[in-house]
Structure 1
Amino acid sequence: MSLQTLQAKPTAALNRPCRIRRITRGQCIYFEGDRGQPWQLVSGIVRLDRSEQGENQFASLALAGDLLGIETLLDANYAFQATALTECAIEPWRMPLADAGKRAVLRTLISAEQRAADLIAIRTGQPLERVRRLMLLLAGGSNAGLLPTKLALPKLCDMADITGLASETVCRSISELRRQGVLTRKGQRSALVSMVDLSELECPTEQ
């Protein structure tokens, strides 16, 4: 999808004044097949699903800074269902005209492409390693720095879908991260993560 193609098909929604929209945890932002406009995720984590044989199947994740529903610039219908895994903020997005803005869009699309590869890796390997990779991804990976990072946690069932594990297995892996001092729970919806320990943690391999 080229920037020239995107720019060639503006929608009326792109000309509306920008405004922040707050989304509660678990709220659906838009449904697959609905008509709509593109959004930028200001904060939070969003799950993208696609309908397969009448059931929603996990497709991808969107993190702060990502674009949501950009496919509506070519086809007014959303290709995925977007659901907030944590409290989120979104705002209407319009195609930038300046070259600097276009480069920013390219960086966003490249980042989303890299995340797609990371999500494939998250669904392979031992359970603890999958959960460790997920925590790194949600915390911003190497861009998060070395200081402990407060991380908003998705629901256990969502983490299970993302990693391809059973909810009980994810729960045990999180307990193991806590036991090793890598993660400290802060209530039901957040945790404090030691990025150094999480990055350096060596998970057992399958025998």
Structure 2
Amino acid sequence: MAPDTDPRGDTRKRILDIAETLLLTRGFNGFSYQAISGELGVKNAAIHYHFPHKTDLGIELIQRYRRRFRRFTEAQADLDAASRLDAYFELTDSYYRRHRQVCPSGILSTEFHTLPCAMQDEAALFIEEMRAWSVAIARQGRDGGVFHYAGSAEAMGAVMFSALQGGLQLARVDAELLGTLKYQLKTLLGIAPALPERGQQALSLPVEG
């Protein structure tokens, strides 16, 4: 889910872009308006002009994620389950490649009980949309005879969602973990390829220098 583009490069969008990077690397509670204004080269008053309270900024960030995610899933409407699973894996990998960021649903669920109530409501909707998408992939694959697993599609979708979300956090410590998780999820779905001779380590993502 690539960031929204705006050729005008207006201040409001730049604030959101910087806040997004800070959210995914430090968490919502880990940055202040000072961090945004310092990078932007403006006074805090410029941030407050667009977002009077930090809660306003947080809500807009989540709503922007939801719009992106909607476009992302709509673009996959005609794909088969295996292709949608690959897109899911690529989405996870993309956050790792961007300075080992945690995915937005991961950071929002980690900080959920410390977020303002209005942000909690918006975050819960976003997280449920992500989970439902994972369930839909699991169900489509089994209904189409591509995936073969025990249990319900709801349970398998929850396993996929939680494993990849948590995997991004643990990958900050263990760079090989995402590759291992993706292979194991495919094993659970009954579609895992044979391991190369060198084992699962060959499936891990390259470590950034």
Normalising to structure 2: TM-score of the pair?
0.28
Instruction: Point out the structure with the larger strand share.
Output: 1
Instruction: Point out the structure with the larger helix share.
Output: 2
